[in-house]
Amino acid sequence: MGTSVGVGCSVHRNPEEAGKEAALKALDQKGPGKPDFVFVFATVGYNQQILIRTIRATTSRAPLSGCSGEGIITQGMAAETNFGVCVMAISSDELRFDNVYVTEIALGAGLAGERLAAELKPLLTADRIACFLFVDGLVFDFDPFLKTLEKSLRDKQIPLFGGLSADNWSIRKTYQYHDDNVFSEGMSCVLMSGHGTIASGISHGCVPVGTKRTITRSKGNIIYEIDGLPALEALKDYTEEDWKTQWNKLSLNLCLGFKTPEYMKEEYGEFVVRYMVGKDDREGYVTIQSDVRSGTEFWMVRRDKELIRDGLRTISRQIKEKRGGQTPKFVLQFECMGRGKVVFREQEKIELIRSLQEDIGKDIPWMGFYTYGEIGPVAHYNCIHNFTAVVAAVY
């Protein structure tokens, strides 16, 4: 049989109609037979429970994982709207998909890493390929999570790909999916094993702005002071508007750029980018999605359209070099919400996505979402990214 994959999408506003339409399209494209696994990405305008329940019923209650996003991506389409859902249905006698989940990750990222490792350990076999992670983007700190996950797994390390779930820019509540369950402040995980591999590409497309700065007080992923000033005070240097009322605009246009470790530079470029996911007006601090030490130097960075375009070509080249001429079975794309409609006009954005898809293979089943953070390995090290595209081709 090999592997058969179908992708369907819908922008109906009714969750039952949307879920059924997207699922039926995916099943029709996949071909006969019950799917072995289903991925789902959707935006937050829907009643999420009704949407997932409908997709499960339509796909013969196949195991399901996924999350909410700021938008959805399929072949030739990128829709950033409150009402959009895409479904990928997979049948395979080459690949196996085991899904697990962890809730209440706000209680501690390190604890979440331990709990996920405990769920994964019984499933990890010699033919493991990768894990796909869909994590609440509002409460996640990647570094302590990864440290405890890899410590707990010991000699059973595995590449991580995925995205941090998003909402419609409200920064209030995101959703993760596991079978019939819809929850927040959690992570949904898919372990892929069997006969196959992944070729991936990663690029952010940001350039530095201004001079070097120094974080002078921090704890974990919280930045309290920059150059001796409260972090939010220091950020006034980069905007003429009031950051208290224009925070979304400021954080979407500017990120923190840290010098890339030497072992990653060849694949990744000069800067590792971090999105400011939160702030505290009273204390004057900002939070990012990984830990940072006092004394760390950084630059403010902004997106550059031409670098984003060049980066997509780099992603295509990276994947082609790794796959050795083989055609991918399917592709998953995790694209930062800061690289969509806030940067490009609608047609311009779609043409960029299409160009990448056609370069890798326009007839390949392709699905993705706009994220609050992206996960993908660089130089064999699992990493979190911001303002970045991560594309994983399974073949």
pLDDT tens profile 206-260: 999 989 999 999 999 999 999 999 999 998 888 776 666 677 777 878 899 999 9
Which one-letter amino acid corresponds to residue 139? V
189 and 100 share one domain: yes
Interatomic CA distance for residues 142 and 308, integer angstroms: 24
* DSSP helix/strand/coil, 23: helix
pLDDT for position 10: 98
Is the same domain home to 273 and 380? no
User: If DSSP codes are grouped into helix, strand and coil, which group holds residue 389?
Assistant: strand
* Residue 188 backbone phi and psi in degrees, to 5: -110, 135
pLDDT tens digit sequence for 81-97: 999 999 999 999 999 99
- Our count of domains for the chain comes to 2
Residues 225, 79: one domain?
Answer: no
Bridge partners for 127 per DSSP? none
Q: Are residues 243 and 351 in the same domain?
A: no
Kindly state the average pLDDT of the residues 102-131.
97
Same domain, 183 and 282: no
Q: Is the pLDDT reported for residue 127 higher than 70? A: yes
- Predicted confidence at residue 246, as pLDDT, reads 73
Q: What angle do CA 335, 302, 226 make, to 5 degrees?
A: 115
Q: How far is CA 234 from CA 48, 90, 271, 281, 300, in A?
A: 39, 49, 20, 13, 11
Instruction: Give the domain-ending residue among 255, 273, 302.
Output: 302
Q: Please compute the mean of the pLDDT values over residues 294-305 and round it to a whole number.
A: 94
Six-digit token pair at 257? 């750029």
The pTM (predicted TM-score) of the whole model is 0.93
Q: What percentage of the chain carries pLDDT values higher than 90?
A: 87
Give me the mean pLDDT over the 175-198 stretch. Answer: 98
| Residues 197 and 228 reside in one and the same domain | no
DSSP label of 280 = E
pLDDT of 371 strictly over 90: yes
Of 302, 327, 342, which closes a domain?
302
- pLDDT, mean of residues 4-33: 98
Whether residues 175 and 296 share a domain: the answer is: no
Cα end-to-end distance, the chain, whole Å: 15
Residue 197 is part of which domain span?
A: 3-202+308-394
pLDDT for 380 equals 92
- Contacts (Cβ under 8 Å, ≥6 apart) of 40: 52, 55, 64, 65, 66, 85, 86, 87, 88, 177
User: Parallel, antiparallel, or unpaired: how do β-strands 381-385 and 176-178 relate?
Assistant: unpaired
Q: Which residue reads 């605009």 in tokens?
A: 249
Among 302, 336, 368, residue at a domain's last position: 302
Instruction: Give the pair of three-digit tokens for residue 309.
Output: 């375009």
**pLDDT bracket for residue 146 (50, 70, 90):** very high
Whether residues 115 and 198 fall in one domain: yes
Tell me: do 157 and 271 sit in the same domain: no
Does 365 share its domain with 278? no
- Lowest-pLDDT range of 80-89, 138-147, 277-286: 277-286
For the segment 371-381, the average pLDDT, to the nearest whole number, is 96
Do 225 and 114 have their domain in common? no
Task: Tell whether 234 and 366 lie within a shared domain.
Answer: no
Cβ neighbours around 94 below 10 Å, total: 11
What per-residue confidence (pLDDT) applies to 93? 97
Return d(Cα 272, Cα 384) in angstroms, integer.
Answer: 9
